Amino acid sequence: MPIVFENPDQPDVIALIAELDAYQLTLYPPESVYALDLATLKQPHVLFAVARDAAGTAVGCAAIVLGAEYGEIKRLYLRPASRGLGLADALLTQLETAARQRGCHQFALETGPAQPAALALYARHGYQRCAPFGDYLDDPLSVFMRKLPAARAEAA
């Protein structure tokens, strides 16, 4: 399935993001959901990737917010029927590759303890648990992770 950087302001992508929001609210209370809105996802410092099936329908998405110190992975989601196909790995790899091409070599993310598949994905890609970063507060319903550049990660 192709993965392309796109504008998130498309009807099928907006529907996908709405599914993600609804899913997260089944797992966590609203105050523990740190989702980016559509306006933020459209900012020039945000890369938004979409995975599409053979019919061209959006089945997955992910974003990275490029900052001065790190890129933050946000909005990684796959429709249930598209899970188990390696798309999450491909989305994450594509975001990291694009970020590195733009000079970003450190990554961070916030996810939740009720998402073991997400935690396993990030660990598989070298992310390690860390303290809250940026504007996040310590929240028992949050798991914070980071991935350092390879040379720094080996020295740590």
Query: For residue 44, what are the domain limits?
Result: 3-155
pLDDT of residue 27: 95
Contact 112, 27 (CB under 8 A): yes
Instruction: Write out the chain in H/E/C secondary structure.
Output: CCEEECCCCCHHHHHHHHHHHHHHHHHCCHHHCCCCCHHHHCCCCEEEEEEECCCCCEEEEEEEEECCCCEEEEEEEECHHHCCCCHHHHHHHHHHHHHHHCCCCCEEEEECCCCHHHHHHHHHCCCEECCCCCCCCCCCCCEEEEECCHHHHHHC
Contact 126, 147 (CB under 8 A): yes
Contact 50, 58 (CB under 8 A): yes
Tens digit of each residue's pLDDT (9 = 90 or more) over 83-116:
999 999 999 999 999 999 999 999 999 999 999 9
**72: domain CATH number?**
3.40.630.30
The total domain count for the chain is: 1
Tens digit of each residue's pLDDT (9 = 90 or more) over 5-18:
999 999 999 999 99
**How many percent of the chain have pLDDT more than 70?**
96
Tens digit of each residue's pLDDT (9 = 90 or more) over 53-71:
999 999 999 999 999 999 9
Closest CA to 77 of 124, 140, 13: 13
The band of 155, judged by pLDDT with boundaries at 50, 70 and 90, is: very low
